[in-house]
Amino acid sequence: MVDFAAFVGVGSVEVTERSRLVLLGERMRSAAALLVDRSLGLRNPDQLRARPMEGQAAWVRAQYDDADGTAWRELDVRQLVQHEQFLNPGHTV
């Protein structure tokens, strides 16, 4: 299990009733899960505006803004589970 907030360098997930484990599953040949502070569900890509991909990690597939100006990132899970820092035990809880 990887604390995703700690992994991206923004603190740690405070475990509450809104916290979730996102299982990455066998398809990615990984027995891993991301601990996140909350899950907001799926977004309709037609309601998002693409943003430039400047300086993003290899595991960020795309960036978007919604109508409220909130930034969203699409993860490339296959790249994420192969990333050296993701596999480093120092980033797991």
Q: How many residues does the chain have?
A: 93
- Domain membership of residue 35 as a residue range: 2-39+46-91
The model's pLDDT over 18-38, given as tens digits with 9 standing for 90+, comes to 999 988 876 666 778 889 998
Q: Mean pLDDT, to the nearest integer, of 41-62?
A: 88
List, in order, residues 6 or more apart from 81 with CB less than 8 Å away: 24, 28, 29, 30, 32, 87
H/E segment holding residue 86: helix 84-87
How many folded domains does the chain comprise?
1
Q: Is the pLDDT of residue 89 over 70?
A: no
